[in-house]
């Protein structure tokens, strides 16, 4: 983990926090009074900040100072009462669970910091030789998507509360929630009312058994599941209250998880020397055209080549466009290549594939997108993609092949 500085504990007195950090091992720490916190941050450049009994104005000043620090992410954690987060940018730690929750949750946040440090270092090294992808500077919450499952009377209000703050996927059953976890990039899970205790416990146990969901934020109602070992899933909390409180509680977790997901996409782009777009997981348009030209050369010697264009009615929204592109990247076959075009449509090339086979594959991808992608807004309407296909002809060039997908008759996804 990237421990270039100490863990800064901001409190007048926080013996329980210091004891927990001491037991956690290899976590150097420094205590500082709230009045001196901002100055201490500038001098020590901490690897993380723990707010323990800190006034709101001091906490806001600390958060503003932390954001301005150069280098990798400095995560913030805050001790809270009644499981209600005190500050939007700080991961909440229930005050009565410091001994068990603080160190596992801190280590999970420091893993994101370590990944950020790696991305910054690799970007700097590659920038000397290649054009490297820039890390987006927008709030990661703009990319965050939270899965809300429930079927009780509070479920509609809970989905509204979450959807007002970040991307939302709703599920009326645990089975549907499971399917979305495999198909979408999920940055948090909220289990609402309407499910019995055994169903919730089984679902959380399944998440804990899969290393992919180790750091996934999960909120379940109080007394809806047994306490889970924080070392297995450090970001599981039991929270009951009004929907606004539950949505506010998961917000900092979702922001941090979305930032980690963003870093992983940038890492994949760096692995491919910038040929993969960090925001989508698809090829950049320049890399796509280069690959398409090589496929066209092979097609001119007798190998097949088909091209599909997926167009959406509501692609003015950035989130919906990026969601569709990221889902597409999961659905491609090993031989397929794709990019998100400048107008938001998705181009998919199928080398050595005839038009009939390409039509079947493209329609399958479009069908998945139709049933898993929602437009952002109060209506939450589904995005029904339309598909246009064209096969390579002997006299075609890359430009004429792409142009014919614009002119072809569109076929709606099933």
Rounded to 5 degrees, what are φ and ψ at 72?
Answer: -70, 165
Helix (H) or strand (E) holding 159: helix 155-163
Residue 405 in this model has a pLDDT that exceeds 60: yes
Residues 6+ away with beta carbon under 8 Å from 305 = 295, 296, 298, 299, 349, 350, 351, 352, 353, 391, 392, 401
| DSSP-based three-state secondary structure for 78 | strand
pLDDT at 304: 86
| DSSP-based three-state secondary structure for 383 | coil
Helices (runs of H) and strands (runs of E) counted in the chain: 12, 15
Q: Measure the CA–CA gap between 230 and 227, rounded to whole angstroms.
A: 9
Query: Which residue is associated with the tokens 């009615």?
Result: 313
Look up residue 35 and give its DSSP letter.
G
Helix ranges (H only) for 306-397 are 318-331, 355-372
pLDDT at 186: 93
Rounded to 5 degrees, what are φ and ψ at 277?
Answer: -70, 125
Sheet of 305-311, strands arranged across: 337-340, 346-351, 305-311, 386-391, 411-412
Residue 254 binned pLDDT confidence (cut-offs 50, 70, 90): very high
pLDDT at 124: 83
Pick the most confident of 127-141, 167-181, 370-384: 167-181
Are the folds of 7-127 and 140-270 the same? yes
Domain extents in the chain: 7-127, 140-270, 280-412
Tokens of residue 285, six digits? 């348009």
pLDDT at 91: 94
Residue 71 in this model has a pLDDT that exceeds 90: no
Q: How many CB atoms lie within 10 A of CB 12?
A: 12
User: Which of the two residues, 242 and 53, has the higher pLDDT score?
Assistant: 242
For the ranges 154-163, 234-243, 349-358, 363-372, which has the lowest average pLDDT? 363-372
Residues 6+ away with beta carbon under 8 Å from 203 = 174, 177, 178, 191
Chain centroid offset of residue 371 CA = 20
Residue 407 binned pLDDT confidence (cut-offs 50, 70, 90): low
- For 285, counting Cβ atoms within 10 Å of its Cβ (0-12 exposed, 13-18 middle, 19+ buried), the class is middle
- Strand 386-391 and strand 305-311: the pairing is antiparallel
pLDDT at 3: 59
Q: Measure the CA–CA gap between 153 and 192, rounded to whole angstroms.
A: 9
Name residue 339's beta-bridge partners.
283, 347
Contact in structure between 112 and 259 (CB atoms under 8 Å): yes
Rounded to 5 degrees, what are φ and ψ at 225?
Answer: -155, 155
Tens of pLDDT, residue by residue over 131-168, are: 666 777 788 988 899 999 998 888 999 999 998 888 88
Helix (H) or strand (E) holding 167: strand 167-171
Q: Give me the half-sphere count of Cα atoms (radius 13 Å) on the Cβ side of residue 210.
A: 12
Tens of pLDDT, residue by residue over 81-100, are: 864 555 768 999 988 888 89
The hierarchical CATH code for the domain 7-127 is 3.40.50.2300
Look up residue 186 and give its DSSP letter.
-
Contact in structure between 217 and 250 (CB atoms under 8 Å): yes
Q: Measure the CA–CA gap between 220 and 236, rounded to whole angstroms.
A: 8
Find, among 262, 173, 255, 171, the residue nearest to 217 by Cα.
255
| DSSP-based three-state secondary structure for 63 | helix
* CATH homologous superfamily, domain 140-270: Response regulator (3.40.50.2300)
Task: Choose which CATH entry (3.30.70.270, 3.30.70.60, 2.40.160.10, 3.40.640.10) describes domain 280-412.
Answer: 3.30.70.270
Residue 383 in this model has a pLDDT that exceeds 80: no
Residue 73 binned pLDDT confidence (cut-offs 50, 70, 90): very high
Contact in structure between 179 and 298 (CB atoms under 8 Å): no
Residue 320 binned pLDDT confidence (cut-offs 50, 70, 90): confident
The proportion of the chain whose per-residue pLDDT surpasses 70, expressed as a percent, equals 90
pLDDT at 378: 43
Q: Measure the CA–CA gap between 59 and 63, rounded to whole angstroms.
A: 6
Find, among 206, 209, 197, 210, the residue nearest to 238 by Cα.
197
Residue 2 in this model has a pLDDT that exceeds 70: no
Tokens of residue 366, six digits? 């479009």
∠298-292-323 over CA atoms, to 5°?
Answer: 145
Q: Give me the half-sphere count of Cα atoms (radius 13 Å) on the Cβ side of residue 409.
A: 1
For the ranges 69-78, 266-275, 333-342, which has the lowest average pLDDT? 266-275
Average pLDDT of the chain to the nearest whole number: 86
pLDDT at 14: 81
Residue 412 binned pLDDT confidence (cut-offs 50, 70, 90): very low
Residue 115 in this model has a pLDDT that exceeds 70: yes
Mean pLDDT of 43-67: 88
The proportion of the chain whose per-residue pLDDT surpasses 90, expressed as a percent, equals 41
Residue 316 binned pLDDT confidence (cut-offs 50, 70, 90): low
């Amino acid at each position: 983990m990237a421990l270039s500085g100490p863990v800064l504990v901001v409190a007048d007195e926080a013996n329980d926090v210091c004891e927990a950090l001491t037991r956690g091992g290899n976590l150097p720490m420094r205590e500082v009074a709230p009045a001196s916190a901002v100055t201490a941050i500038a001098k020590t450049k901490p690897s993380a900040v723990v707010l323990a009994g800190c006034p709101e104005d001091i906490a806001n000043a600390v958060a503003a100072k932390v954001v301005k620090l150069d280098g990798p992410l400095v995560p913030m954690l805050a001790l809270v009462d009644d499981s209600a987060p005190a500050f939007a940018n700080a991961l909440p730690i229930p005050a009565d669970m410091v001994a068990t929750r603080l160190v596992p949750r801190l280590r999970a946040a420091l893993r994101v910091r370590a990944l950020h440090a790696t991305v910054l270092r690799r970007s700097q090294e590659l920038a000397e030789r290649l054009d490297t992808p820039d890390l987006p500077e927008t709030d990661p919450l703009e990319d965050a998507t939270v899965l809300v499952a429930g079927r009780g009377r509070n479920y509609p209000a809970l989905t509204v509360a979450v959807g007002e703050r970040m991307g939302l996927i709703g599920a009326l059953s645990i089975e549907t929630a499971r399917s979305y976890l495999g198909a979408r990039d999920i940055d948090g899970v909220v289990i609402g009312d309407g499910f019995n205790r055994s169903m919730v416990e089984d679902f959380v146990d399944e998440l804990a058994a899969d290393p992919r969901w180790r750091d996934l934020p999960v909120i379940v109602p109080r007394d809806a599941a047994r306490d889970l070992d924080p070392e297995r899933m450090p970001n599981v909390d039991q929270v009951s209250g009004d929907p606004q409180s539950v949505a506010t509680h998961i917000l900092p977790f979702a922001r941090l998880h979305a930032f980690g997901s963003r870093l992983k996409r940038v890492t994949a782009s760096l692995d491919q020397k910038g040929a993969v777009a960090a925001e989508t997981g698809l090829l950049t348009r320049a890399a796509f055209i280069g690959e398409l030209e090589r496929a066209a050369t092979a097609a001119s010697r007798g190998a097949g080549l088909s091209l599909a264009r997926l167009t959406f009615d509501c692609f003015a929204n950035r989130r919906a466009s990026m969601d569709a592109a990221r889902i597409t990247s999961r659905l491609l076959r090993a031989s397929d290549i794709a990019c998100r075009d400048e107008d938001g449509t998705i181009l998919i090339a199928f080398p050595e594939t005839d038009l009939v086979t390409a039509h079947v594959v493209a329609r399958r991808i479009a069908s998945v997108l139709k049933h898993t992608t929602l437009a952002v807004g109060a209506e939450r309407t589904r995005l029904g993609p339309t598909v246009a296909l064209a096969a390579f002809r002997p006299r075609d060039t890359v430009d004429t092949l792409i142009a014919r997908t614009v002119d072809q008759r569109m076929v709606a996804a099933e």
